[in-house]
Amino acid sequence: MAHDYPLILAAVFYLLAAGALYASIRKRSSGWRSVSFALAVAGLIFHAGVQFNHWFGQETPDVSLPHLMSLCALVIILLLVSSAMTRRQLYAAGLVALPIAAGVLLLEWILPAHAIPLKEASAGTAVHMVSSVLAFGLFSIAGVYALFVFIIDHFLRRHHLSPLLRSLPPLEVLEDLLFKLIAAGFILLTVSLGSGMMFINDIFAQHLVHKTILSILAWLAFGILLWGRWRYGWRGSVAVRLTLAGVVLLLLSYFGSKFVLETLLGRSWQS
């Protein structure tokens, strides 16, 4: 329970930073932006402390979903804060990222974690587990960003510039961060698929064929999207559709296969 207090403090700092950033965008005030940045850094320090304690401050860290989602949120806030040193415009995406990070921290605090001790797994299994859940976490947050990109793009095409829309970060800023998340998630998903082959003895006997196929399809969707972005500058609705398609495939792979295999069929991939 000792780690709960810095966890809550980090979430509070992130929410306050988002509020100050909103004020800076509405009022075009560099002062409020500086306040927001300072609050985000304070939240980042508490958040990093919690993560350090989780992974290095105890003998048996676990790779349960809430903890790894929290790690994904930490990476995103670190990306925002570090980008503010060189490209301040990207920090505007914090209006979306900061509340998401705060929500992830609160979920980590509230939800019971089904511990999966890392030391009980082999090296290949551990790499697969960590990379899989980290990839899923990054792509899940990328899916939320894709929805914001869709909303902004939808209203811009119809020239409906409401006060709420004007207060959101520029579309280019959100798309920039979206593709950074997708690129990082794609690397982790590649590691996940590669390391997964290390402990699959019989893909059919272990009931992993559907999970593997869906994961590969998601990998192809994100790979095509990144290639199209690099080669043809894909953005807007094309990026949103492929991002959401990949996220849905991962959801079906991670949770759909697990539900069917363990709940409906009463089996495990290990048997």
Identify the pLDDT of residue 271. 45
- How far apart, in whole angstroms, are the C-alpha atoms of residue 219 and residue 253? 11
Mean pLDDT of 107-130: 66
What's the mean per-residue pLDDT of the chain?
78
Per-residue model confidence as pLDDT tens digits over 236-269: 888 889 999 998 888 887 765 454 444 444 444 4
Q: Which residue has the higher pLDDT, 50 or 267?
A: 50
If you average pLDDT over residues 160-165, what whole number do you get?
A: 64
Q: Name the pLDDT band for 156 (thresholds 50, 70, 90).
A: confident
- Which pLDDT belongs to residue 17? 94
pTM of the model: 0.72
